Amino acid sequence: MTLIKSISGIRGTIGGRTADNLTPLDAVKFAAAYGVFIKQQRDKENYRVVVGRDARISGSMIQQLVMNTLIGLGIDVIDLDLSTTPTVEIAVPMEHADGGIILTASHNPKQWNALKLLNKDGEFLNAEEGKKILEIAASEDFVFAEVDYLGEIHKNDAYFDIHIDEVLDLELVDVEAIKAANFKIVVDGVNSSGGVVIPMLLDRLGVHTVKLYCEPTGDFPHNPEPLKEHLGDICKLVVKEKADLGIVVDPDVDRLAFITDKGEMFGEEYTLVACADYVLSETPGNTVSNLSSSRALRDVTLKHGGKYFASAVGEVNVVAKMKEKNVVIGGEGNGGIIYPESHYGRDSLVGVALFLTHLAKQKISVTQLRASYPSYFMSKKKIELTPELDVDQILETVAKKYSNEEVSTVDGVKIDFEHHWIHLRKSNTEPIIRIYTEAPTQEEADTVADNMIKEINVLASA
């Protein structure tokens, strides 16, 4: 059982001992710290925070604790109840709120939950802001409101419709083209919020939808991370139903994966590639993804005459780089689409609408679309850390050894070779070194990773 306190929020497993797990007391403490932080940002009479949750079994309990802590601080709450991460993100500025909290542990299993924290723009807090909240929580210096100044909870269940309206109003989303394509699509909503909102979106787009695991019970029928090894059921059902494609989202609907008409993975890395290909064809410009994302985005960007930039891993870092370079689309290789014309956050609804527009206009199958992109294969491995392992020294040594190649030390060490790359970084949440590689074949990607592990083991024993 685990409690992880980081600059991006607090997450942990439900039950167990206080300060070791995400217990009710921990939820209250960190909600209070966030509330105090919000009140420190601006001196004003009234404060508002938007709160939403995914369908996790613990979601309602944690939500009530968080909301009532905030009203205890004199902060009004806009209660979206069952929601998604991107829905809360767009609601914050629409409600002129001071911040937002999404109660979700994203792709983690059902025993996990978390408080994901937003600023007044509906974007994730930066490192400095996150550090400040941890300091407030550690001090437990909370001053709660007197009885006449308690906040109020205002329930708003319209935001799925509002979010869908916002997506369909985007200039590059061609609703009529999608309707004319007469798509049949299987949706795996992993029994969470996506099982509600994605079919709602598809209905508005005139799609014939086949639902799989779309009851928002929070009892996930498979590991909720949208990876190939977890998605056997939808792959089979797409073929059985003779569907045009399958759509898979994680519990809070900020990661998006597609299944081809042949029941194969389109590739989570290629969700962003396909959406960027369409956006760049209509609005030329630049792109951003993180250092561990596929080189295919760079290739597609160059094809359209744009420039590609890489950020450190983490959504807040991607967003910062996107703003710095004024890019037209960006995101992460885990299926996260960030389209500034909508908002600066990963949004599967936006991704679905852009992808289906692209597919409808191309008038080809999903299999054919995937074949039109450069093929790269990834290997994702790790090394368990031991006390005697000096990670910083090892990374520095590796960077010096390959200094004749294109080396980035923005986030760990990434080495770009002509036909492949290697990215080494120390995990923020586990005692491991992550080793990501990409190459033209799976065998080569695995071999490159294995050889790097051998190199590191030699350095560690030297």
215 CB burial (10 A radius; 0-12, 13-18, 19+): middle
Strand order in the sheet with 413-416: 377-384, 432-439, 421-426, 413-416, 406-408
For residue 116, what are the β-bridge partners?
9, 102
Which entry of 106, 192, 289, 311 is annotated as an active-site residue?
Answer: 106
Residue 106 bears catalytic tag: yes
DSSP string, 208-231: EEEEES-S--S--SS-SS--GGG-
**Both structure tokens of 298:** 């760079």
Question: What is the spatial distance between Cα 398 and Cα 386, in angstroms, rounded to a whole number?
Answer: 18
Are 289 and 333 a contacting pair, CB within 8 Å?
yes
Q: Which of 235, 308, 315 is nearest to 273 (CA)?
A: 308
Question: What is the spatial distance between Cα 247 and Cα 366, in angstroms, rounded to a whole number?
Answer: 12
Identify residue 415 by its one-letter amino acid code. Answer: I
Helix (H, G, I), strand (E, B) or coil at 75: coil
**Both structure tokens of 311:** 């950020």
For residue 185, what are the β-bridge partners?
209, 245
Residue showing tokens 């105090």? 36
**Both structure tokens of 52:** 């939403």
* Residue numbers annotated as active site: 106
